[in-house]
């Protein structure tokens, strides 16, 4: 399978960002939240998807 250059670039950016923050997930999240606040963009979270009665999960066991 051929490597997708866009995916490769995104992985490289992700790795560099993680290294900038010592690969510490809490530091990464703080940095992302700071950037989110600085952006001034309104962030929207879609409502949770509800299961229809036909798609209910079956109990196991």
18, two tokens: 């993680």
Question: What confidence tens digit (pLDDT) does each residue in 18-35 have?
Answer: 999 999 999 999 999 999
Question: What confidence tens digit (pLDDT) does each residue in 37-61 have?
Answer: 999 888 888 898 887 776 556 665 5
The residue among 51, 52, 33 whose CA lies nearest residue 43 is: 33
The model's pTM is 0.61
Domain boundaries of the chain, sorted by first residue: 5-40
Q: What share of the chain is helix, strand, coil (3-state, %, to 5)?
A: 55, 0, 45
> How far is it, in rounded angstroms, from Cα 30 to Cα 21?
10
């Amino acid at each position: 399978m051929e490597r997708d250059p866009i995916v490769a670039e995104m992985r490289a950016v992700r790795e560099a960002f993680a290294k900038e923050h010592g690969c510490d997930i809490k530091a990464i999240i703080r940095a992302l939240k700071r950037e989110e606040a600085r952006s001034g963009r309104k962030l929207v979270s879609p409502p949770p998807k509800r299961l229809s009665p036909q798609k209910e999960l079956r109990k196991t066991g």
